[in-house]
């Protein structure tokens, strides 16, 4: 029998993180703990945001989906395994972030039960993974240049700038002038209309941008394809790719020359491996992206990034990039050559610091399968730790 505990936390970010969707100063986080019959525990983190801006999901919709549909399905399974769970919820439309929360916790649980690291369980081979850092929109250009400089001093070798209309050519030019040899990517999070393609191509070529990520909205295959033909830079898709079918469509349309795989966004680690394999067969380089995860979600992503098909630097910077302190011990620390060490302990290989969870928790709920009668979750203790935001 398996039981579940769902914690909702409110964590302050080290600094505000601004994208074309808005500014985040605090991060609402759902952590799902799954405990097996032998006492082993797997943990998953939901990457949904406070509001449904990046995607149609939010923390509130994910929590509702977990409590009313996904955990009941899990409790009905004879075998609590990632593949079995993914199959059981396949008929439920949408909600990939909520589904990934359970699926990734099950992967952690499975690896712990097998006594091996999550990296090894997923087929990972690397002991260290190359990483870069993502820099949000800053108050002004001098602040941006200083921020990039501090990250380079820390040891990062690849920097990705968030851009949007009105915050693109000038900031990129300033960063390029200050750091002429920097490997520079940009990410628009769907902020541009398709007719902006020629302008994007001009400044990307002029300032030697190596990669332009998701400039147009999801489904704008032809606009991305035109941009991909227009220069030497890579065109990366993120939000456009939600499953293997959408990746196949993007490949058929020649709409991408790079792929960002975010396991918490696409439904979990299983589909992430499928996306990696499909991209590799088409000769498209892939990399693992982040979603402002705590060390729990970051541990899952680092394990995934250790697989051989992920050949570009991941967006998985050190723990102190977003949270100080992080929820885990030991934290992720940037190592030589702009790398992170892949944990080699059982499961995700890091310890959740429960005292920090209690410090930031706003709500916690423990659920177990019903005894007798119709199966489903039964609340064992519902604790409101303080008023939820």
| Active site members | 162, 262
For tokens 């490997």, name the residue. 183
In angstroms, rounded to a whole number, what is the distance separating the alpha carbons of residues 216 and 214? 6
Residues ≥6 apart with Cβ < 8 Å to 37: 1, 2
What's the burial of 293, exposed, middle or buried (CB within 10 Å: 0-12/13-18/19+)? buried
Phi, then psi, of 6 in degrees rounded to 5? -115, 115
No. of H helices and E strands in the chain?
Answer: 14, 16
In angstroms, rounded to a whole number, what is the distance separating the alpha carbons of residues 10 and 50? 10
In angstroms, rounded to a whole number, what is the distance separating the alpha carbons of residues 349 and 345? 4
Cα dihedral 220, 221, 225, 228 sign: positive
What's the burial of 368, exposed, middle or buried (CB within 10 Å: 0-12/13-18/19+)? middle
The count of other CB atoms within 10 Å of the CB of residue 69 is: 15
| 106-137 burial: b if 16+ Cβ within 10 Å, else e | bbbbbbbbeebbbbbbbebebebbbbbbbbbb
In angstroms, rounded to a whole number, what is the distance separating the alpha carbons of residues 324 and 12? 9
């Amino acid at each position: 029998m398996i039981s579940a505990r769902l914690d909702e936390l409110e964590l302050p970010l080290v600094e505000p993180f601004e994208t074309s969707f808005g500014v985040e100063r605090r991060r609402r986080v759902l952590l799902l703990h799954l405990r097996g019959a032998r006492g082993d525990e797997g943990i998953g983190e939901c990457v949904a945001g406070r509001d449904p801006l990046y995607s149609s999901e939010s923390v509130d919709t994910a929590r509702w989906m977990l409590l009313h549909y996904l955990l009941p399905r899990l409790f009905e399974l004879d075998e609590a395994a990632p593949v079995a769970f993914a199959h059981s919820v396949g008929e439920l439309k949408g909600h990939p972030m909520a589904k990934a929360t359970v699926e990734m916790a099950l992967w952690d649980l499975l690896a712990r039960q097998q006594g091996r690291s999550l990296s090894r369980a997923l087929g990972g081979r690397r002991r260290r993974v190359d990483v870069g850092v993502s820099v949000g929109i800053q108050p002004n250009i001098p602040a941006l240049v200083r921020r990039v400089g501090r990250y380079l001093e820390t040891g990062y070798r690849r920097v990705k700038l968030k851009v949007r209309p009105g915050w693109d050519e000038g900031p990129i030019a300033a960063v390029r002038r200050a750091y002429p040899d920097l490997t520079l990517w940009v990410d628009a999070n769907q902020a541009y209309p398709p007719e902006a393609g020629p302008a994007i191509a001009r400044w990307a070529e002029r300032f030697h941008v190596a990669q332009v990520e998701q400039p147009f909205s999801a489904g704008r295959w032809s606009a991305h394809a035109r941009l991909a033909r227009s220069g030497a830079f890579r065109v990366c898709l993120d939000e456009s790719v939600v499953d293997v079918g959408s990746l196949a469509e993007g490949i058929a349309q020649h709409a991408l020359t790079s792929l960002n795989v975010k396991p918490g966004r696409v439904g979990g680690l299983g589909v992430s491996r499928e996306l990696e394999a499909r991209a590799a067969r088409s000769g498209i380089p892939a990399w693992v992206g982040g979603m402002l995860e705590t060390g729990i979600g970051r541990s899952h992503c680092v394990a995934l990034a250790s697989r051989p098909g992920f050949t570009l630097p991941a967006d998985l910077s050190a723990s102190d990039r977003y949270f100080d302190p992080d929820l885990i011990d030991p934290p992720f620390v940037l190592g030589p050559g702009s790398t992170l060490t892949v944990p080699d302990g059982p499961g995700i290989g890091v310890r959740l610091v429960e005292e920090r969870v209690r410090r930031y928790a706003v709500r916690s709920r423990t659920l177990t399968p019903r005894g007798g009668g119709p199966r489903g979750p039964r609340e064992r203790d519902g604790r409101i730790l303080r008023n939820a935001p």
